[in-house]
Structure 1
Amino acid sequence: MRRNTSITLLSVGHACVDVYQGAVASLVPFFVAERAYSYATVSGMVLAASLLSSVVQPVFGVLTDRRAMPWLLPVSTLLGGVGIALSGVSGSYGLLLLSVAVSGVGVAAYHPESARIARFAGRGSHSAMGWFSTGGNVGFALAPLMVGAVVGAGGLRLTPLLVLPALVGSVLCLPVLRALGRRQAAGGSAAAPPGEDDRTSFVKLSLAVACRSIVFVGLSAFISLYARQRMGDSATAGTVALFVLYLGGAVGSVLGGTLAGRWGRVAVARWAYLVSTGTVAGVVFVPGPAMYLFVALTSVGLYVPFSLQVTLGQDYLPSRVGTASGITLGLAVSVGGLISPVIGSLADATSLRTALTPLILMPSVCWLLFRALPEPPAPHHGTPPDSRTDDTDAPPAPARPAR
C-alpha cells in the first residue's frame, strides 16, 4: 500500500472518530432545548467526555510505547460511536454522563496508537501528520451537521443513528493495519536510534497545549449558544458558528504542516498563537455576522500549531513517542473539558460574554511558552521521502520535514 493511500485512509478514520468529540458540543443545544438543562449542567457533558480522557489517553500512550496495539484503532472507534449513540436514549442525566464518558474513553484510546501509526506510515513527514490531523478536524466540522440533521429532525431519541461513522471508521483502518504489519515483518520499520529526551521543552510544550485546549474547548462548548444569543435565538446561527469553528481547523492543520516546512514548527506556532489572541477577542466582542469571520480566523489560528505540537512532542521525547502523543493529544481535549464547568457556572452567574472573556488570554500564554522552545531536529524514518517510488499520489506540494 502506498504511503499516501495509508495516510488518506487513516485521515478518514480519524474523521470518523473525532466526529464524536465534536458531537458532544453539538448535542448541548438540543439537551438545553429538550430537557431544559442549565449552562452548568450541560457543561457537565463536556466534563464527562474529557475527564477520563485526561487519564486514559496518556496511559494508553505509555502502553503503546511498551507494545504496539494496532487493534485499538477499530475497537476504540466503535466505543466512541456507541457512547454517543446511547447518549439520548435515556432521560437520566446520570446515564447521559456515563454514555458520554464511554465515548470519551474510546476517543482517548484511539489517539496515541493512531498517532504512532500515522508517524510510521508517513515516515516522519510533518505534511503527512498535517493531513492526518486534518482528518480529525473534518470530523469535528461534520459533527454539528450530522447531529443537526439527525437530532434536529427527530429529537434525541434518534441518537442511535450516530453510530454509523464509527462502523465506517473501524472498517477503513483494517487494510492499513494489514499493510503496515507486512511492512514491519519485512523490516520496513528500521530507523535511526532515538535521540535524547528533552523533558524541559516537553513540559513547556504541554503547558502550551493545555492553554490552547482551554480556549478551543471552551469556545466549542458555548459558541453555539453564544451565536444563538447574538443572532436572535436562531438555532441555525448556532449550528453555523460551530461548523465554522470546526471547519477552520481543517484549513489550519494543512496550513501548519506546509508553513512549518519553510519556517519551522516553533516559529509558525508562535505567530499563530499571537494572531489568535486578537481573533478570540473578536469572537467575544465584535457584534453581528462579522463574528463568523473571527470564529473562522480563531479556528485556523488555533489549529495551525495542532499537528506541529504532536510532532514536536514526539521529537522532544523520541524514546517515548506513544507517551508524547498521548499527552499532547490528550491535553488538547481533556484540560479544556475540565475547565468548561467553570465557564458554565460563571455564565449562569453573569453572562456568556463575561464567561468567555478570560479565554482571550490563553493564546498569549501559548505565545510566551513557545518563545522559550527550541526547534528540535526531526529524526530520520528510514529512506528519505524523495528517494521512494511510492509517493506518486502525494497531496500537492507536500512540505519537507523541518530540520
Structure 2
Amino acid sequence: MPGPRDDPRVSTKRNRAITLMSLGHACVDVYQGAVAALVPYFVAERAYSHAAASGVVLAASLLSSVVQPLFGALTDRWAMPWLLPLSALTGGAGVALSGVMDSYALTLAVVAVSGIGVAAYHPEAARAARDAAHGSHTAMGWFSLGGNVGFALAPLLVAAVVATGGLGASPLLVVPAVVGAALCAAAVRSAGGRGAVAGQGVGAGPDDWASFLRLSGAIVCRSVVFVGLSAFVSLYIRQRTGGDDVAGTAALCVLYAGGAVGTVAGGRLADRYGRLAVVRHAYVLTVLAVAGVVLVPGPALYLFVALASAGLYVPFSLHITLGQDYLPGRTGTASGVTLGLTVSVGGLAAPVIGALADATSLRTALVPLIVLPALGRLLLCGLREPAQPGQGAPTPGSSGGRPRAKSV
C-alpha cells in the first residue's frame, strides 16, 4: 500500500506549500542582506565612520542571531503560524525606515527591530516547512534555496531603490515584506494551517543533546568559513589574479550561484544516500576546495570558489533537519540554533580574520579556513542518523541511508 508521500494529492499539496514557503523565505531573507548593502549609502550620505557603519550591521545580525533560539523555544510550546506573515512585515518595516531616521540611535533601533522580525520568522518557518515537506529532503532544499536567493538578491534591490532615489527612497524596500507576508499566509492556508502541538516535535524519542551539540559545532566551523569567504573572496581574487572590481564581483557571484545549486543538490542526494553521508562528504570537499582557493594561483581560483560554494551549501538544509531530529521535542529550538546562533558565531569571526590580514596578509589570514571544515568533519564522526518523522530509530550498524523520496 503506498505511503502518504506516494499519494499524488499529498505530493501536489506539499509542492504548493513548499513553493509558497520558499518564495516567502526569499522575501524575508532579502532583509538579511539588505542591511549590509545599505552600509555604503550610510557612509556616503550621512558620513558614518566605518565603525559606525559596522554598528548598524551588528545591530541587525547579532541581535537577530542571539534571539532566534528564544523564538525557537516559544514555538516549541505553541504553534504560531500567524508569526510568519507578522515577522515578514516586521523585518521589512525596520529596513524600510532605516533610511529616513534622523539620528544614528533611531537608525540602530529600527534596524534592530528588523533583525528581530527576521529572527522570529526562521524557527517557525523551518518547522512549518519540515511539516509540509512530509519527510522529503529535496523539499527542504527548495525551502532553504529561497532564503539563499533572497540574500543574494538584496544588493541588487538596494541598488535599484537607493542608488536612484537616495536613502529617502528606502520606504520602497518594504515591498518584498508585503509580498512575503501574503505568500506566508497563503502557505499556511495551503498546508491546512497545520502546526505541531505544543510540546511535540517532528519525530519521536528522547532529545539527543550530545549529538545536537556536536552537529552545532560543525555548523559553526562551516559558518566561519562561509563568512570569511563572503567577506574577503572578492578582494582576495583581485589580489591573486591582478583583476579589477569586476573580477572580484564575479568571484562573489560564483560563491552565491554555486550555493543555489548546492542547496537543491544536497536535498536530492540526501533523499538517495542519507543525510550524514552527504554532509560528511561535503565537509571533505570544502577542505580540498578552500585549500585550492588559498594555494592555487590564476584563473583556476574560480573553479575552487565554485567547489567551495558547493561544499558549503550542500549540507545547509540537512543541518536544519538533522538538528530537528536530534531534538524531536524541541524542533523550534533546534531550528533557532542551526539557523541563528551558530551563524552569529561565524559573523563574529570576520573581524578576527580581518585583523589577521592587517597584521600579515589576506592569504595568510585565509589559511585557517582550510582547517575548520576538517575540524567540522571530525565532530561529525560517530554521529548516527536520527529517527525521522514516521520512522523508527535506525538499526545498529545502519548507514543512515533511506529509500529515495519523490522530489518536489
TM-score, structure 2 as length reference: 0.82
Instruction: Establish whether residue 281 from structure 1 lines up as the match of residue 316 from structure 2.
Output: no
Instruction: Establish whether residue 322 from structure 1 lines up as the match of residue 343 from structure 2.
Output: no
Question: Given that residues 144 and 243 in structure 1 are in contact (C-alpha distance below 8 angstroms), is that contact kept between their aligned partners in structure 2?
Answer: no
Instruction: Establish whether residue 333 from structure 1 lines up as the match of residue 343 from structure 2.
Output: yes
CA apart distance, 1:156: 4.6
Instruction: Establish whether residue 144 from structure 1 lines up as the match of residue 155 from structure 2.
Output: yes
Instruction: Establish whether residue 216 from structure 1 lines up as the match of residue 236 from structure 2.
Output: no
What are the residue-to-residue correspondences of 1:155-174 with 2, within 5 Å?
155-174=166-185
The residue number in structure 1 matching 2:142 is 131
Question: Given that residues 201 and 331 in structure 2 are in contact (C-alpha distance below 8 angstroms), is that contact kept between their aligned partners in structure 1?
Answer: no
Q: What amino acid does structure 1 have at the position aligned with 2:73?
A: V
Q: 1:193 to 1:226 in 2, by over 3 A?
A: closer
What are the residue-to-residue correspondences of 1:79-90 with 2, within 5 Å?
79-89=90-100
CA distance in 2 between partners of 1:75 and 1:46 (Å): 22
Q: 1:302 to 1:25 in 2, by over 3 A?
A: farther
Instruction: Establish whether residue 355 from structure 1 lines up as the match of residue 365 from structure 2.
Output: yes
Q: Note the aligned Cα RMSD (angstroms).
A: 3.2
CA apart distance, 1:165: 1.4
The residue number in structure 2 matching 1:3 is 14
Aligned length: 382
Q: 1:265 to 1:334 in 2, by over 3 A?
A: same
Instruction: Establish whether residue 400 from structure 1 lines up as the match of residue 405 from structure 2.
Output: yes
CA distance in 2 between partners of 1:219 and 1:32 (Å): 23
CA apart distance, 1:256: 0.7
Identity %: 68
Instruction: Establish whether residue 269 from structure 1 lines up as the match of residue 274 from structure 2.
Output: no
CA apart distance, 1:275: 0.9
The residue number in structure 1 matching 2:23 is 12
Q: 1:34 to 1:47 in 2, by over 3 A?
A: same
- Listed one character per residue, the Cα deviations across residues 258-279 of structure 1 (whole Å, up to 9, x for unaligned) are 1112221111111101111122
SS in 2 for 1:52: helix
CA apart distance, 1:31: 5.4
CA apart distance, 1:4: 0.5
Q: What amino acid does structure 1 have at the position aligned with 2:19?
A: T
The residue number in structure 2 matching 1:393 is none
The residue number in structure 2 matching 1:109 is 120
Question: Given that residues 77 and 110 in structure 1 are in contact (C-alpha distance below 8 angstroms), is that contact kept between their aligned partners in structure 2?
Answer: yes
Question: Given that residues 127 and 399 in structure 1 are in contact (C-alpha distance below 8 angstroms), is that contact kept between their aligned partners in structure 2?
Answer: no
CA distance in 1 between partners of 2:316 and 2:158 (Å): 25
Q: 1:238 to 1:328 in 2, by over 3 A?
A: same
CA distance in 1 between partners of 2:47 and 2:87 (Å): 32
- Listed one character per residue, the Cα deviations across residues 141-166 of structure 1 (whole Å, up to 9, x for unaligned) are 22233234334445555443332211
CA distance in 2 between partners of 1:39 and 1:356 (Å): 22
Please point out which of 387, 399, 405 is paired with 1:377.
Answer: 387
Q: What amino acid does structure 1 have at the position aligned with 2:120?
A: A
Q: 1:306 to 1:243 in 2, by over 3 A?
A: same
CA distance in 2 between partners of 1:292 and 1:35 (Å): 36
Q: 1:364 to 1:44 in 2, by over 3 A?
A: farther
- Listed one character per residue, the Cα deviations across residues 24-50 of structure 1 (whole Å, up to 9, x for unaligned) are 444455556667777766554443332
Q: 1:363 to 1:193 in 2, by over 3 A?
A: closer
Q: 1:143 to 1:286 in 2, by over 3 A?
A: farther
Q: 1:4 to 1:353 in 2, by over 3 A?
A: same
Q: 1:169 to 1:215 in 2, by over 3 A?
A: same
The residue number in structure 1 matching 2:5 is none
CA distance in 1 between partners of 2:40 and 2:298 (Å): 20
Q: What amino acid does structure 1 have at the position aligned with 2:337?
A: I
Question: Given that residues 50 and 338 in structure 1 are in contact (C-alpha distance below 8 angstroms), is that contact kept between their aligned partners in structure 2?
Answer: no
CA distance in 2 between partners of 1:319 and 1:339 (Å): 31
Larger deviation: 151-160 or 135-144?
Answer: 151-160
Larger deviation: 110-119 or 319-328?
Answer: 319-328
The answer to which structure, 1 or 2, has the higher relative contact order (CA under 8 A, 6+ apart) is 1
CA apart distance, 1:369: 1.0
Please point out which of 49, 71, 75 is paired with 1:64.
Answer: 75
Larger deviation: 366-375 or 28-37?
Answer: 28-37
Larger deviation: 209-218 or 65-74?
Answer: 209-218
Please point out which of 207, 210, 217 is paired with 1:200.
Answer: 210
- Listed one character per residue, the Cα deviations across residues 337-367 of structure 1 (whole Å, up to 9, x for unaligned) are 2222333344444444443332222211111
Q: 1:30 to 1:218 in 2, by over 3 A?
A: farther
CA apart distance, 1:10: 0.2
CA distance in 1 between partners of 2:19 and 2:136 (Å): 14
Larger deviation: 111-120 or 226-235?
Answer: 226-235
- Listed one character per residue, the Cα deviations across residues 93-140 of structure 1 (whole Å, up to 9, x for unaligned) are 555544433322221111000011111111222121111111111112
Q: What amino acid does structure 2 have at the position aligned with 1:122?
A: A
Q: What amino acid does structure 2 have at the position aligned with 1:263?
A: Y
Question: Given that residues 20 and 143 in structure 1 are in contact (C-alpha distance below 8 angstroms), is that contact kept between their aligned partners in structure 2?
Answer: yes
The answer for unaligned runs of 5 or more in structure 2 is 1-11, 392-402
SS in 1 for 2:229: helix
Question: Given that residues 42 and 48 in structure 2 are in contact (C-alpha distance below 8 angstroms), is that contact kept between their aligned partners in structure 1?
Answer: yes
